[in-house]
């Protein structure tokens, strides 16, 4: 049976195993089709963690050095795989936003039960869309729809969106400070473009939305991560990060955080705001996951402060394809935000805003939100029943679960856990996909819930529970 020899000591052991396999294949020591030891056998004979061997085999598979055959084992293969990075690993999916498992597992490696897609619970909206487009054609004012209108968006649309913000969250935004955007992602692009310069540092939660990490790279910004707990940003940690980095802009998700579902209490919001005021920060508040909830919640932007740039969209509660979002900026930075909005897109398509406003006006939006709330609650209830005593985190406004993992060195890393899940047919998103401090990853996995045929979702979650209980625990030790 093959046994890796002369492993390089200057690299992680799983990579050294793969390099050794590649060497033996190239030297002709391993014929095409040779059976390789099982993960358990190799981990036993090398005296290393099974997760490490699993990781080595997954990487070897991606590099085209072996194939895994379900129920038979792993076999040497001599065909290289196209589309690899320089080091033979698949290139990272540059998007990393819609839940493609970046950070190690490539798109093609998605499993049958895909729990990586951060989408709202499915509602059939086609018939409604057809009818509403007819209603718009018949009844709506089409003035300004086809022109370079005001870059903020049409005033009647801004007023309607403000009335909805007031009704849904008690946030009375000024229509003159609201700019309609093509989704929250464009709002984030505008805010970062307006508030930062290349080389600046952006304060971010230690686990955060990957779309912002990508934008920071795009704008040439450094990241300084701030510790997060069950209530979101930790004020003392924020204070320390301000002092250490001198950063002036913070991006955060105070409510229904993606991926951890953490939500700031009233007290926490006040404490965070005190640090913000003390250090003169500007805050980009991402509220995209709010609105679809039964609880009374007010965003940071509703508190008396001139330091919050508020961003939201209808993507998570109505439909991502609408691409209707908004940015509400305080007076002190409004001119910069407005200029960045013009620079990046001139304006969002008014026709989509017309549709959104029709739905707000005739109660359809509220109806869609209520139906989604019910669907999300059903999915969460079912998932909690299936997952029993596994220590999950969840929030009624998030259609996903967060499962924190033990952080001991002997436990599986988030990435290893995700790889093991993938081997059992379930794709989940590991913490490294969200981490803003790759040197210090807060371990966990995100599982997005959605309606799947039959009992596929329950079965997939059950596999995660089994894996969770099988995963190596931190070992007791004596001094």
Ligand X SMILES: Cc1ncc(COP(=O)(O)O)c(C=O)c1O
Binding site for ligand X (CB under 6 A): 118, 183-185, 209, 211, 253, 258, 286, 288, 313, 315, 320, 325
Pick between residue 56 and residue 283 the one whose CB is nearest to ligand X.
283
What is the greatest pairwise CA distance in the chain? 79
Q: Residues with Cβ < 8 Å from 346, sequence gap 6 or more?
A: 148, 151
Pick between residue 73 and residue 320 the one whose CB is nearest to ligand X.
320
Q: How far is the CB of 116 from ligand X (least distance, A)?
A: 11
CB 161 within 8 A of CB 326: yes
Q: How far is the CB of 309 from ligand X (least distance, A)?
A: 14
Three-state DSSP state, 361: helix
The C-alpha atoms of residue 347 and residue 49 are separated, in whole angstroms, by 54
For CA atoms 398, 265, 241, 338, the dihedral sign is positive
Q: How far is the CB of 187 from ligand X (least distance, A)?
A: 7
Q: How far is the CB of 27 from ligand X (least distance, A)?
A: 47
Q: How far is the CB of 373 from ligand X (least distance, A)?
A: 18
Runs of H (alpha helix) within 280-362? 331-345, 350-361
Q: How far is the CB of 303 from ligand X (least distance, A)?
A: 20
Pick between residue 49 and residue 118 the one whose CB is nearest to ligand X.
118
Pick between residue 15 and residue 446 the one whose CB is nearest to ligand X.
446
Q: How far is the CB of 118 from ligand X (least distance, A)?
A: 5
Q: How far is the CB of 184 from ligand X (least distance, A)?
A: 4
Pick between residue 74 and residue 260 the one whose CB is nearest to ligand X.
260
DSSP state string for 369-399: HHHHHHHHHHHHHHHHHHHTTS--B--TT-S
Integer angstrom CA distances of residue 283 from 4, 189, 224 = 52, 14, 14
Q: How far is the CB of 395 from ligand X (least distance, A)?
A: 13
Pick between residue 61 and residue 344 the one whose CB is nearest to ligand X.
344
Q: Residues with Cβ < 8 Å from 159, sequence gap 6 or more?
A: 175
Integer angstrom CA distances of residue 365 from 191, 246, 352, 360, 422 = 26, 42, 14, 5, 37
The C-alpha atoms of residue 156 and residue 144 are separated, in whole angstroms, by 11
Q: How far is the CB of 121 from ligand X (least distance, A)?
A: 14
Pick between residue 62 and residue 185 the one whose CB is nearest to ligand X.
185
The C-alpha atoms of residue 292 and residue 9 are separated, in whole angstroms, by 52
Pick between residue 66 and residue 184 the one whose CB is nearest to ligand X.
184
* Residue whose Cβ sits closest to ligand X: 183
Q: How far is the CB of 181 from ligand X (least distance, A)?
A: 8
For residue 469, give both structure tokens.
């209980």
Pick between residue 4 and residue 182 the one whose CB is nearest to ligand X.
182
CB 272 within 8 A of CB 227: no
Angle, CA of 434, 412 and 9, to the nearest 5°: 100
Short-list 351, 217, 374, CA closest to 292: 374
Pick between residue 354 and residue 416 the one whose CB is nearest to ligand X.
354
The C-alpha atoms of residue 253 and residue 243 are separated, in whole angstroms, by 21
Pick between residue 42 and residue 317 the one whose CB is nearest to ligand X.
317
CB 313 within 8 A of CB 324: yes
CB 247 within 8 A of CB 203: yes
Runs of H (alpha helix) within 256-363? 266-279, 331-345, 350-361
């Amino acid at each position: 049976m093959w046994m890796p020899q002369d492993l390089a000591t200057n690299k992680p052991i799983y990579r050294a195993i793969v390099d050794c396999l590649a060497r033996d294949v190239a030297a002709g020591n391993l014929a095409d089709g040779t059976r390789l030891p099982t993960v358990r056998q190799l981990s036993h004979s090398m005296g290393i963690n099974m997760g490490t061997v699993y990781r080595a085999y997954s990487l070897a598979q991606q590099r085209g050095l072996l194939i895994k055959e379900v129920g038979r084992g792993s076999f040497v293969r001599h065909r290289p795989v196209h589309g690899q990075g320089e080091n033979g690993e698949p290139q990272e999916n540059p998007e990393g936003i819609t839940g493609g498992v970046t950070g190690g597992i490539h798109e093609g490696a998605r499993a049958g039960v895909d729990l990586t897609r951060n989408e709202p619970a499915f509602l059939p909206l086609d018939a409604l869309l057809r009818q509403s487009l007819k209603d718009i054609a018949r009844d709506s004012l089409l003035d300004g729809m086809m022109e370079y209108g005001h870059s903020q968006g049409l005033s009647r649309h801004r007023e309607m969106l403000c009335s909805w913000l007031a009704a849904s969250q008690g946030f009375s935004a000024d229509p003159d400070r609201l700019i309609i955007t093509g989704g929250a992602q464009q709002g984030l692009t505008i805010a970062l473009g307006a508030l930062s310069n290349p080389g600046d540092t952006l304060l971010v939660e230690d686990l955060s939305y990957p779309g912002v990490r990508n934008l920071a790279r795009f704008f040439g910004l450094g990241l300084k991560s701030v510790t997060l707990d069950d209530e979101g940003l930790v004020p003392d940690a924020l204070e320390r990060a301000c002092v250490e980095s001198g950063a002036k802009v913070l991006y955060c998700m105070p409510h229904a955080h993606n991926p951890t579902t953490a939500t700031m209490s009233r007290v926490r919001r006040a404490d965070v705001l005190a640090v913000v005021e003390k250090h003169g920060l500007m805050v980009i508040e991402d509220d995209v996951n709010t609105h679809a909830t039964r609880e009374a919640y007010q965003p940071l932007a509703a508190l008396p402060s001139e330091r919050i740039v508020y961003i939201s969209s209808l993507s998570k509660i109505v439909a991502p394809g609408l691409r209707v979002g908004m940015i509400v900026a305080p007076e002190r930075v409004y001119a910069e935000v407005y200029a960045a909005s013009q620079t990046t897109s001139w304006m969002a398509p008014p026709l989509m805003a017309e549709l959104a406003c029709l739905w707000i006006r005739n109660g359809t939006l509220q109806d869609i939100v209520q139906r989604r709330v019910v669907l999300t609650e059903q999915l969460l209830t079912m998932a909690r029943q299936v997952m029993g005593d596994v220590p999950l985190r969840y929030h009624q406004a998030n259609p996903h679960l967060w499962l924190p993992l033990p952080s001991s060195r002997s436990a599986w890393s988030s990435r290893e856990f995700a790889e093991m899940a993938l081997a059992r047919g379930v794709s989940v998103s590991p913490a490294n996909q969200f981490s803003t401090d790759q040197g210090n990853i807060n371990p966990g996995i995100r599982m997005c819930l959605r309606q799947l045929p039959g009992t596929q979702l329950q079965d997939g979650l059950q596999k995660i529970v089994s894996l969770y209980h099988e995963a190596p625990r931190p070992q007791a030790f004596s001094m």
